[in-house]
Structure formats: structure tokens, C-alpha cells
Amino acid sequence: MKEFKHFINGKYVGSAGGKTFENRNPVDNSVIGIVHEGGREEVDAAVAAARAALKGPWGKLTQAERIELLNKVADRINERFDEFLEAECLDTGKPRKMAAHIDIPRGAANFKAFSETLANHPTEGFRLDTPDGKGALNVGHRTPKGVVAVVAPWNLPLLLMTWKVGPALACGNTVVVKPSEETPATTTLLGEVMNECGVPPGVFNVVHGFGPNSAGAFLTEHKDIDAITFTGETRTGEIIMKAAAVGLRNISMECGGKNPAIVFADCDLEKAVEGTMRSAFVNCGQVCLGTERVYVERPLFDAFLKRMKEEVAKLKPGRPEDPEANFGPLISLEHRDKVLSYYKLAEEEGATVEIGGGIPDMGEALQDGAWIEPTIWTGLPDEARVIREEIFGPCCHIRPFDSEEEVIALANDTRYGLAAAIWTENSSRAVRVAEQMEAGLVWVNSWFLRDLRTAFGGAKQSGIGREGGVHGLEFYTELKNICIKL
């Protein structure tokens, strides 16, 4: 039985009030650990430690010294790869080969990628003419934002947490991280790595707990937090945004999505099927960038649907360590109840269930796990709730369309605007349609192909702000202008 304590000022500490909750493995619902729940006392201590480190040892390091430390952190994660892999798979139930390919290596890479990118980006400089003819020099100068609250999600726990912590620390900030209550393990383990690599106490802090009336609310409402970065559902983002308004704290939010894929008849069918399979079903559909609405040009509709059903039938659920398994459980039984409610609603709204739609028989040993069938629907009206609301499960609806104008309107007919995928071999059409997508990220003939130097974020109710590459400078630093009279 593991015990997950808070990591504050370089030390692991329990909750003062002794409050804990269970951490369960979604594969079989077994208890794998006890997590300490943070209250105001723990959040106050973490924020105070972060503030002291900001003003003290961390703030006095040079940029080169910070980069060296963060590179050590990345290397140490990779040296302890198997430990991080085991922790991530116990928390999420995802196949080991997926976590070994994506979660852990990219989680480590975030420290190196952002420290190097942000350290070498220039600021602006302007020469100003003045009436006395001597002029003035204006120089842009960036300073850390301060103490940053990082509220991280459960679907890609290490990767999405370090996606925020990496650039925050590279810019000289200190952080207090509130990981999801569902996935405390890798964030907790990262504290050990920070100590091993010589990162000063208080730079990286972790407080566990829930949202309302718990660590999440206490952290985002804290008066000494200078900025908040959040990934999660839009409803929670709205609550955090209200909290951030008090004190005018800056926010960066990547929220929900109801992402479309547009498949034109001139696409490469096998590429489109392979890409859409990934975008709809990888990580059991628990990806904010995932596809839940698929629009297929009518001449290709039947062939595309047939191939998708064939590929879904090949998905093999199983334990993370099963080398043949490529499909894990949902994160929890609670989340499965939510997804199953949409499976039921789809049928009530008139969907044809092409494949899936229920709970698979996983045998006696795994019957208590959060397993669910990958599902494809057709036949739903465009106003159906299943078409308009984010489900965050392994499911998609496939609908035919007849014209480019029609499908652009359908794809954009959502309150969300996170991502879109376009499948066509016509380059002019690809650019033309991509430019009209109301989304922060658009992929053409690919999905989730990420260059960390590019902007990442959503439009409409899918988020506020952009991170990634130099765009993170706008959130993680304050840009001041220094005017020097000559």
C-alpha cells in the first residue's frame, strides 16, 4: 500500500488534519494507495515555500544554472523510467507500451525543450528620437511571473503536468502543483527527482486533494498566487476564472472540446482510418484533442464506416502489462457511469449503434474495473446532446456530408474550439478548410502531431491563452520596458 503525501519545501508531509482518501486502480478497482488531502494549512505552507524560494535561492540562479538543473531533472526521469512507468500505469490503467512511448519520455522532454527554447528567445529593443537630439533606448526585459498554481488533469498526468511545470520553472517561476485526485503518483514521485537533482526546496511543491472546499479551491483562491494554469473541463475552468478575477491573477486554460474530423472523398482512406482510430480511441478516448464528431463525404461514407468498424473490432482491452493489449479502462467507475449515461442517451436520441455501446466481459478478475466498449454511432440528428456535449470516452458519431460549405458549418457548430482534423489529398482544399476552422489546432492528414515550438490552446469555450514554445513567455513572464534616456 503506497502513501502519497504532499511535497512542500523539499519534504514529504502528511495532512495536518489527517484527512486521506483512497487511490484506486481502474483496471480492477483495487486500492493501491492512500492520498493525503490538503487543506488551507498545507496550501498556505506550499505557497509560502514557493514565495521564499522565488525570492531566495531560485531567484538568484542564472538562466544557465536553471537550465542545467532542469536538464538534470529530465535525465533523472529517464533514469528512473521504469518507476515512473509503473506509477503512471497503476494510476491510469493505460497500456504500458503507450505510456512508455508517450507519457514518460515526453513528460521528461518537456523540461529540456522549454528550458532551451525560452532561454534563447530575444526581447525587443527600440531607439527613440527625442527633442534634444540625444535619443533614448527602450529595452524589453522579462521577469518571472511569480508563484504559479498548476492544476493538472488525470488523462496524461505526467506529460500535461510537466508541460506546465517545465516552462514555468525555465522562466524562473516557482510552482505549487495540484494533480488530479485520480492520479497522484507521478507528480509525487517527481518531488524525489527534484531533490536528487539539487533543485532548491520550495521551487516545486505538490498539494493533493479535490476541487471544491479542498486543495484545488484553496490554491486557486490564494492571494499569493500570481498566475494559474489549468487543463480540464470547461465548467471547472469557469470556476477557476472567477477565483482568478480576485486580485486580477493571470490565467492560462485549456478546457473541453467536441472536436471534429472532416474526411473528404479524395483522402487516402487507410491514412484517414488509422488517424481517426487514434483520435477517437487512443487512451480510451480520454484525450482533450480527441475526435467525437466525424464527418465523411458521402461517396466515401460506407467504405469509411466499414473500415472503422473493422479496426474497432480489433482493439484488445487488457491489463497494462499485457503486450497484446492496446485499450485500457476509463480512469474510474465514476467516469464510466458518466460515459455510459451518454451511451444510453445516444440510443434514446435515435442513434444506430454500429459497434460497442456497453461494458465488455473482462472475466472475474477484472470485472470490477472501469472497462467500457469502444463505440461508433450513426444516424443522430445534429442537435442531439451526444453530438453537442463532450463525452470524453472511446466513442464517435460518423455522419455523411455533401459539400465543403456544409461540412465547415457543421464542424464549427459547437461552443468548443480546441482541435480539428482534415483528411484530403487536395492541398488547396486543405488550406482553405483549415483556415475556416474555429479551433486553436488544426491537423491535416495527421492527428496529435506536436511540435513543442508551436502555439497550443483552444478557441471559444475550449480555453484562454496559448502555451508552447515562445508563446509560453507571454504567460510565464512579465514583460517590462526599460527606457534609458541617452
The pLDDT score that the predictor gives to residue 120 is: 75
**Contact criterion met (CB below 8 Å) for 193 and 76:** yes
**Contact criterion met (CB below 8 Å) for 292 and 343:** no
Q: Which amino acid is at 478?
A: E
The pLDDT score that the predictor gives to residue 174 is: 98
**For the chain, which residues score pLDDT lower than 50?**
none
All structural domains of the chain, each given as residue ranges with its CATH number in brackets, are 2-256+462-485 (3.40.605.10), 260-444 (3.40.309.10)
Q: Which of 37, 254, 390, 467 is catalytic?
A: 254
**Rounded to an integer, what distance in angstroms lies between the CA atom of residue 31 and that of residue 25?**
6
Q: Find, among 263, 257, 274, the residue nearest to 407 by Cα.
A: 263
The pLDDT score that the predictor gives to residue 298 is: 98
Place of cell 504567460: 475
The pLDDT score that the predictor gives to residue 36 is: 98
Question: Helices in 230-388 by DSSP H: which ranges?
Answer: 234-245, 269-281, 298-314, 333-348, 385-388
Q: How many residues does the chain have?
A: 486
As beta bridge partners, residue 84 has: none
**Rounded to an integer, what distance in angstroms lies between the CA atom of residue 253 and that of residue 233?**
10
Helix, strand, coil distribution of the chain in percent, nearest 5: 40, 25, 35
**Rounded to an integer, what distance in angstroms lies between the CA atom of residue 216 and that of residue 226?**
15
Question: Helices in 286-392 by DSSP H: which ranges?
Answer: 298-314, 333-348, 385-388
The pLDDT score that the predictor gives to residue 117 is: 79
Place of cell 470485472: 367
Assign 328 to helix, strand or coil: coil
Burial 175-196 (b: 16+ CB within 10 A, else e): bbbbbbbbbbbbbbbbbebbbe
Place of cell 486580477: 248
Place of cell 533543485: 199
Any catalytic annotation for residue 254?
A: yes
Place of cell 537533482: 197
Q: Find, among 310, 280, 274, 309, the residue nearest to 293 by Cα.
A: 280
